[in-house]
């Protein structure tokens, strides 16, 4: 049998070289304002902070964070920081679960946040993001023997979801990650991959927001919001044991429902079909605020309009967070 030698592959210099000719530049993303931030013990400018490509948390989702709002009151020309101590207390609990340690006391963290806001001189509603994360530039999945960094930045921020006309939601095919797998009561960066899957699924299917069930089929929460259901004069919300984040806004809303609306609040598991037959439904959170739901899985909630109790609750809540209601002054801290 005759063997035919195969010619060796040959390449020209042009074929072996890296393309260096300039091409049409892609559209550049908007440049973030060079705002004041806090990073590892110092105040600095956003554009001066550099994070390495190998930063551990970027690869493994090993960070804990908070979302805090501050509300601008046009009449008083004052910015009101909302429930900052409660957020930092929760962040400390999240850090403990992840074997991290916050570098400051709650009081110090609140004061640092106030300084960030004052340096930026915001005159609009603001969202504040504290983040504690694994910062070593090395490969390897672990939580021990690794360096951490801490930062706080703030941006002008309006409504995260629709809060006036009502949301159209779908029950996601993605289930809430159970506490036995990834602690639901810790606000861990990596766990929000599940939220992103659910949110994109809902948006791309034509809905505004997702509602996520637990592994055993009970209602847990929205993609990043707690949930309340009103039926026959009683307000029901999933318990902390149904893999919810123990929301700061959730606690405030429970108090308002009891004290202002005079309705009983029951914490119990909710079946999926209860969402189809309730009188009113709402999502809440620091980002979402108080967001009425008017449709679930193409079924109207109540009469398909924003409910009476939800509307009243919204009005009371926004009055309180903007520092307009004396009895709720302890919710906020004036910034200026």
Annotated active-site positions, please?
Answer: 187
Which residues neighbour 293 within 8 Å (Cβ) at sequence distance 6 or greater?
A: 166, 167, 168, 169, 209, 281, 282, 283, 301
Cα radius of gyration (the chain): 24
Is 252 in contact with 83 (CB distance < 8 Å)? yes
Of 111, 120, 116, 147, nearest to 129 by C-alpha is 116
The SS3 call for residue 290 is: strand
What is the C-alpha to C-alpha distance for residues 1 and 236, in angstroms, rounded to an integer? 83
Token pair in block for residue 336? 């200026």
Neighbours of 153 (CB within 10 A): 19
What is the C-alpha to C-alpha distance for residues 76 and 307, in angstroms, rounded to an integer? 30
Neighbours of 126 (CB within 10 A): 22
Of 216, 207, 212, nearest to 195 by C-alpha is 212
Fill in the DSSP letter of residue 72.
E
């Amino acid at each position: 049998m005759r063997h035919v030698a195969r010619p060796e592959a040959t390449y020209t210099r042009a074929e072996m070289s890296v393309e260096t000719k300039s091409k049409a530049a892609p559209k550049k993303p908007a440049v973030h304002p060079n705002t004041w931030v806090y990073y590892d013990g110092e105040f600095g400018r956003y554009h001066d902070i550099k994070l390495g490509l190998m930063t551990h948390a970027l690869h493994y989702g090993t960070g804990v964070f908070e979302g805090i709002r501050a509300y601008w009151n046009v009449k008083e020309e004052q910015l009101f920081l909302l429930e900052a101590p409660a957020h930092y207390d929760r962040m400390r609990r999240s850090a403990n679960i992840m074997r991290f340690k916050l570098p400051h006391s709650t009081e110090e963290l609140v004061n640092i946040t106030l300084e960030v806001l004052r340096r930026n001189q915001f005159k609009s509603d603001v969202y504040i993001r504290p983040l504690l994360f694994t910062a070593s530039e090395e490969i390897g999945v672990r939580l021990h023997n690794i360096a951490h960094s801490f930062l706080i930045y703030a941006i002008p921020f309006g409504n995260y979801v629709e809060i006036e006309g009502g949301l159209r939601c779908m029950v996601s095919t993605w289930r809430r990650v159970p506490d036995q797998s990834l602690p639901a009561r810790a606000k861990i960066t990596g766990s929000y991959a599940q939220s992103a899957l659910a949110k994109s699924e809902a948006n791309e299917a034509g809905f505004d927001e997702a509602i996520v069930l637990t592994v055993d089929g009970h209602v847990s929460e929205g993609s990043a919001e707690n949930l309340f259901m009103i039926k026959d004069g009683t307000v029901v919300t999933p318990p902390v044991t149904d893999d919810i984040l123990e929301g700061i806004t959730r606690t405030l809303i429970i108090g308002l429902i009891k004290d202002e609306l005079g309705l009983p609040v029951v914490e119990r598991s909710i079946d999926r079909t209860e969402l189809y037959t309730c009188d009113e439904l709402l999502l809440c959170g620091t980002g979402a605020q108080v967001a009425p739901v008017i449709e679930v899985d193409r079924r109207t909630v109540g009469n398909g309009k924003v409910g009476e109790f939800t509307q009243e609750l919204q009005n009371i809540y926004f009055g309180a967070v903007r520092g307009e209601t004396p009895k709720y002054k302890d919710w906020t801290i004036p910034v200026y």
